Structure 1
């Protein structure tokens, strides 16, 4: 059995862990661009 199969089996047996990982990934995809663009200056008129 490979590591992928073990992880898949674990997540099938623990759906709350799967939903927590999904929520974390959504949060990270939203925070990443904000953190990357934090140093940019605003050029005004």
Structure 2
């Protein structure tokens, strides 16, 4: 669904290395049907 290789998804699940916001967005919103909400507080 998110057009990523299984090995890449596995690496994300196991250690989150090299995870970009774009990939996080695509995985959650396109692959899982969820919503990504990012907030920055100071």
TM-score, scaled relative to structure 1: 0.28
What's the TM-score, normalizing by structure 2?
0.30
> Could you say which structure has the greater relative contact order, defined with CA pairs below 8 angstroms and 6 or more residues apart?
2
